[in-house]
Amino acid sequence: MSRQVTVQRLLEEHGRTYAEEAGIRLGDTPAPLYRLLTLCVLLSVRIKADIAVAAARELSGAGMRTPRAMLKASWQDRVDALGRAHYRRYDESTATALGEGAELLLDRYRGDLRRLREEAGGDPERIRALLREFPRIGPVGADIFSREAQGIWPELRPAFDARARDAAAGLGLPKTPDGLARLVDDDDLPRLAAALVRVGLGK
């Protein structure tokens, strides 16, 4: 099977980003960027991705789509939303992390992650470092954000984390971000990265 056929099949069968699955219409505006950050917090613990995505949907459905709304909701409101998605074991600590993260975003960036991008000055490593200052966001969470946001923040391209690269190698695709980026248009980079991660998790 040629690389192009492999990539086409990946995109067709698994090329849905996690933001899409969580109902986030990603764009370079404050609310969807914040919802992506929330999703990354939820995905940053050892829990099934579909449960984390369901939790993101529950928080959104309960109105917690902005840092102000997240802070306005009570800690128990957050715990209850996470519980409805069966986001167990980490529900209480995550509810705390979401509240603290919303407060940090409001205090430092006036609720707008585009200000974080400006502070990073176009440096992708600096963006990741600033993201890691949010509670619960470590290297994994920063990588997830980069993977998903590379479609709207070009300086993050190409973003393929270790899990995506390992899956690519197993499929006979290039092992480097630059090599993988040459296989698709820029608009499809988030979809290819997500597809590779899904394949890797499915093994």
Q: Encoding tokens for residue 48?
A: 């099934």
Q: Band of the pLDDT at 202, cuts 50, 70, 90?
A: confident
Which residues contact residue 94 at a Cβ distance below 8 angstroms, ignoring those fewer than 6 apart?
A: 41, 42, 45, 78, 82, 87, 136
The rounded mean pLDDT for the chain is 96
CA angle (106 as vertex; 100, 112 as ends), nearest 5:
120
Average pLDDT of the residues in 167-184: 96
- pLDDT, tens digit, 9 for 90 and up, residues 92-120: 999 999 999 999 999 999 999 999 999 99
Residue 203 confidence (pLDDT): 57
Residue 1 confidence (pLDDT): 65
- pLDDT, tens digit, 9 for 90 and up, residues 117-163: 999 998 999 999 999 999 999 999 999 999 999 999 999 999 999 99
- pLDDT, tens digit, 9 for 90 and up, residues 10-57: 999 999 999 999 999 999 999 999 999 999 999 999 899 999 999 999
